Amino acid sequence: NAGVTQTPKFQVLKTGQSMTLQCAQDMNHNSMYWYRQDPGMGLRLIYYSASEGTTDKGEVPNGYNVSRLNKREFSLRLESAAPSQTSVYFCASSEALLEQGRNTEAFFGQGTRLTVV
């Protein structure tokens, strides 16, 4: 049982280049998330998908786009990378508890360390 799998693990981009970070989960979770982690700032939500076919902006969406390809996969795209996007990116998923009206805990991937030069 792999859980949440992110690819790639490391990436170096030049300013202006584009790339897509891939994420897949095998736990049949409804909700998926993309966070970025920067020193002293904790995890900040970029985008999330509450269910297949829906996506919504989080706290820091500028410069990013997402696609919920199917229930398993949620990708994050940087169209024109900037040095400010140098960060560690985490994908996560969680199960929707319909009767309780909320999600349960999130399960995280191992992260993608992105450097934009």
Partner 1 sequence: AQSVTQLGSHVSVSEGALVLLRCNYSSSVPPYLFWYVQYPNQGLQLLLKYTSAATLVKGINGFEAEFKKSETSFHLTKPSAHMSDAAEYFCAVSTGFQKLVFGTGTRLLVSP
Chain contacts with partner 1 (rule: CB under 8 A): 4, 31, 33, 35, 40-45, 48, 50, 56, 58, 90, 92, 94, 96, 100-111
53 vs 101, which CB is nearer to partner 1?
A: 101
Are 23 and 76 in contact, with CB atoms under 8 Å apart?
yes
* Minimum distance, C-beta of residue 97 to partner 1, in the bound complex (Å): 9
| Closer CB to partner 1, 51 or 80, in the complex | 51
**Smallest gap, in angstroms, from Cβ of residue 112 to partner 1?**
10
**What are the b/e assignments for 23-54, b being 16+ CB within 10 Å?**
bbbeeebbbbbbbbeeeeeebebbbbbbeeee
Looking at beta carbons only, is 5 or 17 nearer to partner 1? 5
Identity of the residue, 26 or 56, whose beta carbon is nearer to partner 1 in the bound complex: 56
CB of 36 to partner 1, least distance (A): 11
Residues 6+ apart with CB under 8 A from 106: 33, 92, 93, 94
**Tokens 């949620």 belong to residue:** 74
